[in-house]
Amino acid sequence: MDLTTLNQEQLAAVRHADGPLLLLAGAGSGKTRVITFRIGYLIRQRGVLPAQLLAVTFTNKAAKEMKERVEELVGKRQCRGMIISTFHSLCVRILKEDIERLGYKKNFSIYGTADQVRLIKDLMQAVNVDGKKYDAERIQWMISDAKNRLIPPESYTVRYQDEYEYLAAEVYPKYQKALKAFNAIDFDDIIMLTVRLFREHPDVLEKYQQRFRYLMVDEYQDTNAAQYLLLRSLAGERRNLCVVGDDDQSIYGWRGADLGNILDFEKDFPGAAVIRLEQNYRSTGNILAAANAVIGNNRQRKEKALWTSGDKGRPIELVRCMDEEDEARVVMERIHAERFRHELQYREFAILYRTNVQSRAFEEQLRYENIPYVLIGGQQFFDRKEVKDAVAYLKVLVNRRDEVNLLRILNYPKRGIGETTADRLIRASAEGERPLWEVLCAAGEIEDLGEKAQEAVSGFVALMERYAQRFARTPNLADTAREFFAEIKLEDEIYRGTDDPKKARRRVENLEEVVNAMASYLEREEKPSLSGFLEKVSLLDEDRPDRDSKEKKLERDAVTLMSLHSSKGLEYPVVFMVGMEEEFLPHKNVLNQGADVEEERRLCYVGITRAQRQLVLTGAAQRKKYGQLQPRIPSRFLQEIPGELLDSQTSEGRPPASEEEQETMANNFFSGIRAMLGD
């Protein structure tokens, strides 16, 4: 291993011996490089067995990239047995071995958000709550938030006297009981149940503490309470825990991330070594100076400042536009000019905004200018109805007690099991306190079920049992799935239920991609199984076939449009941060709630540090709201950037309706600029 390519701080981090280590890795400071070199150093120089190493991160893409880099450093053979995975993949692996200790069977199902919401809606109806009046997704979010804070149903309390909290308190215990009855867990259970397994069965915890002697965690600032306790448990008395993160890039508080985990690391692990990675290898000096100036206004942070050995680069452009259309036009002009001047490709430009609704004007202008673009965000592949229907069948083949998915497919495509028949079957299941599948298998015993309905149910049961056996026996899951979908006529049902032929074709192609995903899974797995494939699907694995996934989109030669949240971890030669106004950044929800704007400032910092060579900040003097133009106030974060770093300009926007209106707007606009720059 050639360690001469590392700077002094990186080298110290790689060579750190035993004990807790906090790496404060600023944006663009090469943190992934440090983690991979540290893993390689432990294997090559310290003689640590690969199986004793555990590296955890948040996305499958990051885990895959890290694993590939380590294999390049030390060779594939030397990496056998090493685990580099996401939190959820790690915990599924643990639960697969020992979940029976908690009263579940090993072939448990993992419910995604849509399945969770559907079950919650059913439970709301069971407690006589109007599902149309109350938002089941909000209840699901509240239960998810409780699980991320490790609050079980019996400990859930109403804190704010909110009617939704009262409803969540009533539904949560029933929801958890129903999940267990279906031998299913949801995404949040994956970590919560693992923590519970460790707490209730110390021998299981000791097994993993003995196995994983060195732990490394990426993006530590994004961990929640459950993830923190999981890591602390695994670290045990050895405390060989190396965490890498940047408190200045903690932007997921709304998702449960606890900034205190990284800020209090030295309190939680006394004697921890702290190394700051402040040398930036991404951006110019001016961009870093602006980022440091903005984030320096936050009080809840570890002191650090990014620097570069490179040049200062061009000034940061601040362009104030007349309205949203003028703003979009200004951005297009800059794209054309930069491409011509510096021979850039379209993929080297990014337009970043605080909220997705801001993309409209830019999309329209990009289409008008015939500039290719990709929009990051929107519905994911496995959330699409036709895909969820196909996957629901596969889930039931693996776990016949998965009643949410069983009810989803019972009469889809239609097979003579209508609502009346389904209602009788569900009633028989409830009255006899028997699983629904058991009732289906004995449909002939239900007296008020007609002969045709009994035949339809028996045919469905026979079909599912036959294919369950085939999937268990065959090594070629993809071919079997293709035959299965053809026999149940899913494709025919899509064409029958979709008015637009083009849309129907796209939906059928999505169905085909499920089979393609299975084929890809077969190529990568030594011991493939249907349950293993479904596990990958539930964990949103990188193997998903979504041709419109974020990774696939970013490969195209096209301008990228995305939210500031989505931009984290990415970098572009030219970045446009648009809508730099109060109520956009910081967001109006934060301002209306009187909340601390520090997370919004961190979001601004993340956006600034995406830029490598050129950063353009734009805002509008007015915007349409319900069809009426309203004046806008420049973002307070602009005022925090030193004036000498900025090249402030006004656009040549279209004039307003009258000269008087134009003069008033110009005065307001320039006074805002002057106030920001302190002139």
Give tens-digit pLDDT for 484-541: 999 999 999 888 877 677 788 888 888 888 888 788 788 778 788 999 888 877 764 4
Residues annotated within the binding site are 25-32
User: Which is the catalytic residue, given 67, 395, 610, 613?
Assistant: 610
Q: Is the pLDDT of residue 543 over 90?
A: no
Report the pLDDT value the prediction gives residue 135, as an integer from 0 to 100. 82
Best-predicted range by mean pLDDT among 447-451, 481-485, 652-656?
Answer: 481-485
Report the pLDDT value the prediction gives residue 549, as an integer from 0 to 100. 62
User: Which is the catalytic residue, given 9, 10, 31, 618?
Assistant: 31
Q: What is the mean pLDDT of residues 284-307?
A: 95
Helical H runs in 45-133?
60-74, 87-98, 113-126
Report the pLDDT value the prediction gives residue 655, as an integer from 0 to 100. 46
What are the tens digits of pLDDT across the range 222-277? 999 999 999 999 999 999 999 999 999 999 988 889 999 999 999 999 999 999 99
Q: How many helices (H) and strands (E) does the chain have?
A: 30, 17
User: Which is the catalytic residue, given 86, 221, 223, 249?
Assistant: 249
Q: What is the pTM of this model?
A: 0.81
Q: E strands within 235-390?
A: 241-245, 273-277, 316-321, 349-353, 373-375
User: Which is the catalytic residue, given 219, 258, 323, 338?
Assistant: 219
Q: What is the mean pLDDT of residues 436-456?
A: 85
Output phi, psi for 241, to 5 deg. -115, 120
Angle between helix axes 477-487 and 451-473 (nearest 10 degrees) is: 170
The yes-or-no answer on residue 536 being catalytic is no
CA 477, CA 494: separation in Å to the nearest integer?
23
Length of the chain: 679
Under DSSP, is residue 431 helix (H, G, I), strand (E, B) or coil? helix
Name the strand (E) or helix (H) holding 622: strand 622-625
User: Which letter does DSSP use for residue 404 in this model?
Assistant: H
Q: Is the pLDDT of residue 675 over 70?
A: no
User: Which is the catalytic residue, given 9, 186, 218, 246?
Assistant: 218
The yes-or-no answer on residue 219 being catalytic is yes
Residues annotated within the binding site for ATP are 25-32
User: Which letter does DSSP use for residue 342 in this model?
Assistant: H
CA 588, CA 354: separation in Å to the nearest integer?
11
The single residue listed with the structure tokens 């900034």 is: 259
Report the pLDDT value the prediction gives residue 540, as an integer from 0 to 100. 47
CA 514 to chain centre: 21
Measured CA to CA in angstroms, residue 87 lies from 55, 113, 152, 567 at distances of 9, 18, 20, 21
CA-wise closest residue to 136 among 151, 156, 122: 122
Is the Cβ–Cβ distance between 282 and 27 less than 8 Å?
yes
Burial 90-120, CB ≥16 within 10 A → b, else e: bbbebbeebbeebebeeebbbbbebbbbbbb
Using CB atoms within 10 Å of the CB of residue 626, give its burial: 0 to 12 exposed, 13 to 18 middle, 19+ buried: exposed
Q: Is the pLDDT of residue 132 over 70?
A: no
Is the Cβ–Cβ distance between 179 and 108 less than 8 Å?
no
* Mean model confidence pLDDT for the chain: 87
Report the pLDDT value the prediction gives residue 607, as an integer from 0 to 100. 97
Helical H runs in 356-450?
359-368, 385-398, 403-409, 419-432, 436-441
CA 147, CA 676: separation in Å to the nearest integer?
43
Strands 622-625 and 628-631, sheet pairing: antiparallel
Report the pLDDT value the prediction gives residue 10, as an integer from 0 to 100. 95
| High-pLDDT (> 90) share of the chain, % | 54
The yes-or-no answer on residue 299 being catalytic is no
Burial 475-486, CB ≥16 within 10 A → b, else e: eebbebbbebbe
Is the Cβ–Cβ distance between 85 and 378 less than 8 Å?
no
Q: Is the pLDDT of residue 658 over 60?
A: no
Residue 667 — very low, low, confident or very high, per pLDDT cuts 50/70/90?
low
User: Which is the catalytic residue, given 32, 279, 454, 650?
Assistant: 32
The yes-or-no answer on residue 556 being catalytic is no
The yes-or-no answer on residue 609 being catalytic is no
List the single range of 173-177, 397-401, 620-624 with lowest mean pLDDT. 620-624
The yes-or-no answer on residue 367 being catalytic is no
- Angle CA(351)–CA(353)–CA(359) in degrees, nearest 5? 75
β partners of residue 477: none
